[in-house]
Structure 1
Amino acid sequence: MTDEIQQRLQQVLHSQPSRRWLVGFSGGLDSTVLLHALQSQVGGQAVMAVHVNHGLSANADTWQAHCQAQCQSLGVHWVVEKVQLTGSGAIEERARKARLAVFAKLMDPGDGLLLAHHRQDQAETVLFRLLRGAGVTGLGAMRWSRPFAAGHIKRPLLGVDRAALQAYAERHKLSWVEDESNTDTTFDRNYLRRTILPALRKRWPLADQNLALAAQHCQEADLLLQELAQLDLSTLAERQEPMGVSVALEPLLGLSESRRRNLLRHWLRSRLGETVGAQLLADIQSQLLCGQNGHAQVGNKNLLLGCFQQRLYALSAPLQWQPSAQVAAPEPTIAWQQPEQVLLLPGGDYLQWVDAQADTSRALWGRALARKHMGRNIVVDWRRGGERCRPAGRGHSQGLKKLLQEQPLPIWLRARVPLIYIDNELAAVGDLWVCEAFAAAADEPAANLKWEFPCVTLDAV
């Protein structure tokens, strides 16, 4: 059984060589075996043990000292990070996220992170997620390899029985710590580990192997569903949008309901990093795709979805800033004192003047401001109500509300359109119009205004 651990570790080391291997090192049996086996194969110089001290146990500092001593005896570089758990929710999940944040911070491009999860951990994860109603992706449980931060995560012991780890530790006379919280069955995972899984093993001795095998089947099915989703996505005229992405509604509605849900799960996860549940998918269908409310929006703290001009938009919710419309506390204006420099706006979008003759992205007429005006007092403001503009080339002025309705500009962006005032007179409406009095003639120096947003790249994973 000892050979099995070394062989699986060798497979990982050779399948995707890394500049440096980080090991999540709690000091428990599993990570102790992994660190020892890794050091015996690659030496200590290419290894960094990372110990995360959550401070949840009275023994936390004792465990930290134990880990330091173990690393020193192995000649392995080690790092300790003390964290404080924040937010709400299950303490196990918050601790997991805190550890991953530490690992991500420490990883450099080309690094590999090794975690010591074994077969029983995988079986426990499958059962835990099954009881929470997970779909195919969730039931795939832990992957033995996946991209992470600047490198990748590997779990070389995922197919190894815990008895093999125990035998390895005893053979090499290793010492490890025991977390007393592992016996507390008020935690869901501990209840599964100490009560449910032992009962299953008595009736079905191969329960761990078969649950892990089921996870492999789900992972394969999930890959096939992702391939189908990618094929469907290629037919939806996907495009990048300010702060997000969008797809065409008509071909999306032409998919069967199951394929549509599969496509939406894949699209939102791959583009915006958001795993969506059944309720949000149901809200998208009932509130956005039914065609009854063109102004409806759904989402959560990370994600905002809405429809506009026959397209479904998926946007980053944290970037959905709106200027204050309160009479008592209106959005303050911004003095653009150095117009030759980029001006960052409160929502993360920004403004920039570019030479009109060199800007081939738009026509000069009606878009360019005469440079002779740029040495005057320039202020950026937002709509307060009642503003009017006579766009260059038009015979009369119009209210901004009516003008904006002419544009293919989503309704959630209209309040954010920056208004450029020069000596207290409206000179430009975002990068949409330049007012007649400030427009450049065809033969005079001119500048185009660019209004840009943070973007989501279409090749995001």
Structure 2
Amino acid sequence: MIENIIKKNQYKLFLIAYSGGMDSTVLLDYLCKIKKNHPQISIRAIHINHNIQIDSKKWQTHCVSVCKEYNIPLIIEKIDINITKNIEEQLRIERYNLIYKNLLHKEIILTGHHLNDQCETFFLSLKRGSGPTGLSAMSSETIFGQTKIVRPFLTKTKEEIKNWANLNKLKWIEDFTNFNTHYERNFIRHKILPVLEKKWPFFLKNCFRTTHICNEETILKNILLKEKIQQYLNFNECLNISSFKHLKEVLCKALIRYWICLKNVKKPSYNNIQRVYNEIIYSRKDSNLKVIVQKNEIRCYKKFLYFVTIRKDIKNLIIFWHNTENTLQLPNNLGYIKKNNQKGINLPKPKNSELINIRFQYAGKILIMGRQKRRNIKKIWQEHNIPPWLRNQIPLLFYNDQLISALGVFVINRTINYQDNTKPNQWYLSWINDIPINNGNHLLCK
């Protein structure tokens, strides 16, 4: 497999995830042998010291010694975070973060995962009740940022890799925690798979075939969904669900799941997707449901699904802008406000005695420019298609306690005439931000 990668890739840079164990040691030895026939390739290795075993330092020293023997540059990284739950998952995430940090441009990551690892991952997904995507387990190639992770041994059994190691008289370190069946993967490795292999010698191969079929089905489904979802995506990538009641439930949920996955977050659970379908799509009332996906929420407004970053509640915050010559930075990554010259939103200029301040909450009736009657501010938000979760994120300009403008949305109608550009009692403000709204524009006033 590596030979094929060398042939089809212009860039032949490889970074081996090297633990010092048998699998990654065989991978290192295998690649170094290939390099003898392909001297143009470049090989580096990276060792992640997890700092959770008393022998961690010995393992690191062993890896340094082996790479020196092979004349391969070795990067050493240490994990120094305190992990109290989901240890295996958190270590895996931190491990890949450190690998990504050290990647060169177009460098391909190689790992020593093999067929037994694949079957263990399949069983873990089965235990979690995963669908075809989860049951696909690991792919031979996975996109990783601007590069990819390649697992050249994924069709090889652990026994085959061990035979290579013994044949080439390789030395590796043994992590004895791999025998601790308290960990789920180790339980499957030592208690489940040996029994199944003894009963059915071809079980591992057949398990791999199942993961391969699930992967093909997932790829095909995503190709079809990618085309189908274009009918429902709005300008700012929110999902138009107005016609979802007329779709088959299975298609409806598949579109929602695919839409969430477009946001580059961890795949949502089956229960979350079912909640969105039952409580939003199929509900007869306008739902205020919030479904949490990592640090985001799925929200519904006017038959559109939004994927919203959870922001800090700032509705009671007041920010005073004493020196308007300076840019005013806003909280929650809401951008900034600055004074412009003949550019931006045209506003009445404050008196010298008035304190300019920014707030994020207002209730009651207001009279805005271009209107004859006062209306409740909630109705004004609705007219401008501002979803409820954004209304307390839009900066409201006040002079003392007098509301002047919701920047980028409306201006209060005051008795003073400031629309004449020759008058000195006006100024221009710009709120620069990156907040999309339902009409495809941004709340951006320049």
Please indicate the TM-score interval, normalised by the length of the shorter structure: 0.7 to 0.9
TM-score by length of 2: 0.87
2:144 equivalent in structure 1: 148
Verify the 8 A CA contact 2:13 2:106 in the aligned structure 1: yes
Specify the code of the residue in structure 2 equivalent to 1:232: K
1:345 equivalent in structure 2: 330
In structure 1, distance between residues paired with 2:140 and 2:103: 18
1:5 equivalent in structure 2: none
Task: Tell me whether 150-159 or 435-444 shows the greater mean CA deviation.
Answer: 435-444
Whether 1:291 and 2:306 are equivalent positions in the alignment is: no
1:202 equivalent in structure 2: 198
- Equivalent pairs counted in the alignment come to 430
Q: For 2:116, which of 92, 110, 120 is the aligned residue?
A: 120
Task: Tell me whether 182-191 or 347-356 shows the greater mean CA deviation.
Answer: 347-356
Q: For 1:323, which of 314, 318, 321 is the aligned residue?
A: 314
| SS of structure 1 residue aligned to 2:263 | helix
Verify the 8 A CA contact 1:126 1:141 in the aligned structure 2: yes
Verify the 8 A CA contact 2:334 2:393 in the aligned structure 1: no
2:430 equivalent in structure 1: 449
Verify the 8 A CA contact 1:85 1:95 in the aligned structure 2: no
Q: Offset at 1:453?
A: 3.0
CA offsets per residue over residues 387-430 of structure 1, 9 Å max, x none?
A: x6432233455553443343311011112221112466433212
Alpha-carbon distance change, 338 to 446 in structure 1, aligned in 2, over 3 angstroms:
closer
Verify the 8 A CA contact 2:325 2:339 in the aligned structure 1: no
Matches within 5 A, 1:26-45: 26-42=19-35
Whether 1:420 and 2:381 are equivalent positions in the alignment is: no
Q: Offset at 1:369?
A: 2.6
Matches within 5 A, 1:305-454: 305-317=298-310, 320-324=311-315, 330-335=316-321, 337-338=323-324, 341=327, 343-353=328-338, 368-369=346-347, 378-383=356-361, 385-386=363-364, 389-395=366-372, 397-422=374-399, 425-437=402-414, 440-441=418-419, 443-444=421-422, 447=428, 449-450=430-431, 452-453=433-434
Whether 1:160 and 2:156 are equivalent positions in the alignment is: yes
Matches within 5 A, 1:198-347: 198-240=194-236, 245-289=237-281, 290-317=283-310, 320-324=311-315, 330-335=316-321, 337-338=323-324, 341=327, 343-347=328-332
TM-score by length of 1: 0.84
CA offsets per residue over residues 184-211 of structure 1, 9 Å max, x none?
A: 1121111111121111111111111111
In structure 2, distance between residues paired with 1:262 and 1:51: 39
Unaligned runs of 5+ in 1: 1-7, 325-329, 360-366
CA offsets per residue over residues 123-148 of structure 1, 9 Å max, x none?
A: 22112212221100001000111211
In structure 2, distance between residues paired with 1:131 and 1:336: 59
| SS of structure 1 residue aligned to 2:11 | coil
Specify the code of the residue in structure 2 equivalent to 1:124: E
Verify the 8 A CA contact 1:123 1:209 in the aligned structure 2: no
CA offsets per residue over residues 343-396 of structure 1, 9 Å max, x none?
A: 43211112345869777xxxxxxx53367989985321222545x643223345
Alpha-carbon distance change, 278 to 215 in structure 1, aligned in 2, over 3 angstroms:
same
Specify the code of the residue in structure 2 equivalent to 1:255: L
1:64 equivalent in structure 2: 60
| SS of structure 2 residue aligned to 1:250 | coil
Unaligned runs of 5+ in 2: 441-446
Specify the code of the residue in structure 1 equivalent to 2:296: L
In structure 2, distance between residues paired with 1:256 and 1:70: 58
Q: Offset at 1:275?
A: 0.6
Note the aligned Cα RMSD (angstroms).
Answer: 2.9
Specify the code of the residue in structure 2 equivalent to 1:335: W
Q: Offset at 1:293?
A: 3.9
Identity of aligned residues (%): 24
